[in-house]
Amino acid sequence: MNIHYEKDVDLDVLKDKTVAVIGYGSQGMAQARNMHESGLNVVVGLRKGSSSEELAKSHGLEVLPVEEAAKKADVIHILIPDEIQAAVYENSIKDNLEEGNTLTFSHGYNIHYGYIKPPENVNVAMVAPKAPGATVRREYEEGFGVPGLVAVEQDFTGNAKEIVLAMAKGSGLTRAGVLETTFKEETETDLFGEQAVLCGGATELIKAGFETLVEAGYQPEIAYFETCHELKLIIDLIYQKGFAGMWDNVSNTAEFGGLTRRERVITEESRKSMKEILKEIQKGEFTKEWTLENQAGAPSLNRTREMESELQIEEVGTKLRKLCGLQK
């Protein structure tokens, strides 16, 4: 395991280079601003008429059409959604690459699955903060940073790793530590984590717990507090102190009940399903499904979003978050 910190990285690797950040969403905004304020020469590439143009300019950044940004830059950092990266690359970036350029990403999806196929005479690398963009920015402003990953898929110039490490330092990631990985490892573990645990697994567990209590006749508001609201408190403890530290900070009753009942919730069948999800990711079955979904206009995703918004837990949660001052 190779971890890099501030003292290990030379920011001057990018001293005379221009970094074009393509996209100005959550990650694009955070990384562009952090690198800019770290002294790097950053431009932002946006499609014509983008609603983010004025915002980027107000942050002191030069904004160019994607084609011009790619042509001007030595490093092209693609931070637009996975599902549109390949089209933007083909239409606006590919023909503007020059020998020795560096093409970078914060997620290995399109490179790993072959949707983007760069020429052999450029570097292909990744710098990936392990936090949402808002957190990347906030931690940087507070003088610290979030952990990150770096990976090199193609090293044409011989210093691709030094380049992405400098980008990581510019974004504040080396303040917390940057771990080396591969495009394959980052992509497959990231997708699995999102689907089975962080986004998919966690929300389904919360929903099932909420519905179990409500169906048994308990007040929806009490059910929400017990299965959703308090989850953040537990996750914060695990984040700060690990499992053992969390158990030390809850009651003995909670510890005994949790330890003796948890495997009745996450059963061998659940673990089997997790392994199946991982195989679908490894074989490329998920990415094919996601590609077809987008080609069709995302009907399944849109339908599921609508159904999710109509859940009772969403209605109750919105009301309680407003009462608690957590949501306007």
- Across the chain, which distance is largest between two alpha carbons, in Å? 67
CA distances from 254 to 205, 234, 325 (A): 18, 11, 28
- Helix, strand or coil for residue 150? strand
Tokens of 197: 């645990």
Rounded to whole angstroms, the Cα distance separating 114 from 290 reads 14
Is 107 an annotated catalytic residue? yes
The full 3-state SS of 236-284, as one line of letters, equals HHHHHHHHHHHHHCCCHHHHHHHHHHHHHHCCHHHHHHHHHHHHHHHCC
Tokens of 250: 């809850």
In sequence order, the β-bridge partners of residue 45 are: 22, 64
Phi first, then psi, for residue 109 (nearest 5°) are: -45, -60
Rounded to whole angstroms, the Cα distance separating 318 from 328 reads 9
Q: Which of 4, 36, 77, 107 is catalytic?
A: 107
DSSP, residue by residue, 191-232: HHIIIIIITHHHHHHHHHHHHHHHHTT--HHHHHIIIIITHH
41, amino acid identity: N
Q: Which sequence positions are flagged as catalytic?
A: 107
